[in-house]
Amino acid sequence: MTIADIRAFIVSLGLADQVYSGMMADKAEKSIGCYPSKHTEAYRRSFGKPSTASYGRYYASFLVHWTESQRESEKAARALQDALEAARNASAGDETILFILPLYSDPVPLDTDEAGIYEYDIEAAIIYKL
């Protein structure tokens, strides 16, 4: 699983005008940025050989960069979180996402950027088939 696979999945949802991975250069309104998360946890592996594992975990962060309206921006962030939570056996590039577990119950408000655009962050664990 790579951030490019995650970006492909987010594009397939059709929720944003632009979907970025890596740097969000132009910061277009109504866009979502996909980034590898800095979230860490203890390393876990199933007993036996590594080949016995059936799933992997990828932690991602989604920046919802929307409009100057807090209400619209929050609704867009909630729509993305709802779509992430509803994902089951979804295609992501060459990978299959089994399910996605947001790490927080709600999108985290980040206030506005320098242009007055409201932003929200969603951190999630993406569980995918090996």
The CATH number of whichever domain residue 78 belongs to comes to 3.30.2000.30
Q: Tell me whether residue 85 is in a domain.
A: yes
Q: Give 54-89 pLDDT, tens digit per residue.
A: 888 999 999 999 999 999 999 999 999 999 999 999
Answer yes or no: pTM beyond 0.75. Answer: yes
Model confidence at 46: pLDDT above 80: no
Q: What number is the average pLDDT over the span 22-43?
A: 85
pLDDT of residue 114: 93
Which residues form the domain of 104?
3-41+51-129
Number of structural domains (the chain) is 1
**Burial class of residue 121, CB neighbours in 10 A (0-12, 13-18, 19+):** middle
Q: Which two tokens stand for residue 43?
A: 């390393």
